[in-house]
Amino acid sequence: MPAVTLDLWHTLMFLPADAEERYMETQVEVARRALAAANRRPGAPDRTEAGLGRAFEEEYARAVALAGDGVTVTPAEQFRRTAEATGRDADVEAYLAALEPVVRQLALRRAPGALELLRSLREDGYGVAVISNTVGEPGAFLRPTLTAMGFDPYVEAYVFSDELPWTKPAPEIFRSALSGLGASPGEAVHVGDGWSDIEGARRAGYRAGILFTGLREYGERYRRLFLPDGWADPPSEHVARRLEEVGTLVRQLLPPGEGR
């Protein structure tokens, strides 16, 4: 069948910029507290709590940089590496247990037109999957929210990078999603808001990538990490400002019923 894969953050759902900023600050705060509560190894420096927070931020930034190369560093591994660097015994389970309610209580918003787009794609016979780089939180923590948003009846597969060795733009994560749909790259279109979406679809051999620009009010911390100075839109022949436009483009690029 023809297939459509879609990015999650800033494509199908989002946080307002100020809420996104607070959330990313809270991620650091949760890690800082967990590190401060961890046992300090003999001979390890007695860092201040602020210093522990900065150490986690540095590890988070490294994970973001590696994600740009298609390499996964899970939230659990980020915490473990920070604990190792600061001479702490990492209680990864305690860290994740503290992070999970933060993620589940986020006031995430469904993108305007998201359900309508997904429903119409399925009704026209497209296989649908979501591919998300989950650098800051495990995908498992997001699943209840996605269910509550009503995505599950239309999304056949959720592919989260923390559950695989790869992040977008690695072609393997795209091919993993297509494998779950029984589709080949030549009969697939990907939709997302960033470089890793468009470049990843190109590397995976997709028929096309659609750059979605309708939800680009990023928090400042997010922008610094994921959109550094000099960042520019990836080259794409297909751009949509509204999700309603995405459906039209998909049908032009990959007519319903095309494929096996």
Q: Going from the N-terminus, what domains does the chain have, and what CATH number goes with each? A: 3-15+109-253 (3.40.50.1000), 18-104 (no CATH)
Burial profile 103-141: b = 16 or more Cβ within 10 angstroms, e = fewer: beebebebbebbbebbebbbeeebbbbbbbbbbbbbbeb
The 3-state DSSP class for residue 252 equals: helix
Q: How confident is the model at residue 228 (pLDDT cuts 50, 70, 90)?
A: low
pLDDT score for 234: 74
230: pLDDT strictly greater than 60: no
Answer whether 155's CB lies under 8 Å from 8's CB: no
As given in the structure block, the two tokens for residue 177 are 């999603």
- Per-residue pLDDT, averaged over 9-32, amounts to 96
For 93, what's the count of Cα atoms within 13 Å in the CB-facing half-sphere? 0
Task: Give the whole-angstrom CA distance, residue 176 versus residue 130.
Answer: 11
Q: How confident is the model at residue 260 (pLDDT cuts 50, 70, 90)?
A: very low
Task: Give the whole-angstrom CA distance, residue 146 versus residue 156.
Answer: 13
Residues 6 or more apart from 185 whose CB is under 8 A from it? Answer: 174, 175, 178, 204, 205, 206, 207
pLDDT score for 258: 61
Per residue in 53-108, pLDDT (tens digit) is 999 999 999 999 999 999 999 999 999 999 999 999 989 999 999 999 999 999 99
